[in-house]
Structure 1
């Protein structure tokens, strides 16, 4: 085992060149020529996300939550998830969360609490996520985007938690959010 003498927050990577490989309204892919931490030349690809990921765990007074089902193009399979989406990096994440909850479920909430921030896949992307709980729910009409074909399910929270534990839910934002909510509920730190 080799112990580093370098301060843990100093960047051990050297960038010697970079080129944009791909760019669209949502992502940018850059390839970097680098000198890696061991001093050897190499390449590194980075996907930059132009939006911040947003996740919401809506909870009603009876401890039900809402899942959104949709076919995920990238996975070629159906996925059950908490309401989630994206918001521009210069937009307040709470405003994005309120919009996403209304769009996908038709719900509005009187109370919002930020419970988690996380990087989603820090080995290849800089995607950053903010997760909220939403309580004091009121039902309105959903306003999905034209690219979304959604199914909404209202389910007791404990059943959704079991779906995470059984591997029925695999979306990373949803898994992290529901595990965090379970912990907060066990510590009586969520007011319904």
Structure 2
């Protein structure tokens, strides 16, 4: 069953709101930008929803992407992130910036404290993307884990559990599936 987000603002209206915050976010110091993460988490505990925070959180990540990676997500990438957060599929061709696009909805959903998992097709992409985009998340005060690295099969369950307790996890569908099975088939 898919969750229907009510009310869903048209994507272009949300984009306009995010773009309207660009100058404000550019004017923040690095520390002020990082402190937005804690502010958002507090606002969530006070009853605001992820949808309420979306425009401001996306604007924060967009600015962090620019400062940390030297890449400022284009409007189409921001719209792709909005669509992803809303639970829909955003189709993008090779080279259109899927990895950068994902930073916005992944960050937003990690704010809930329930963790956000980005699943990709192979270990190379999971590790590469976690290393590159992880810089943004760490800049903003979040933790990142990658359970599908070489030697991860030899990790004991407590090490794997620690990785999955990260705010954001980059993994593969195979690693995620096997980790779930191993954890749930454990004898104790």
- TM > 0.5 fold call: no
Q: Rg bigger for which structure?
A: 1
TM-score normalised by L of structure 2: 0.27
Higher relative helix content: 2
User: Greater strand share, 1 or 2?
Assistant: 1
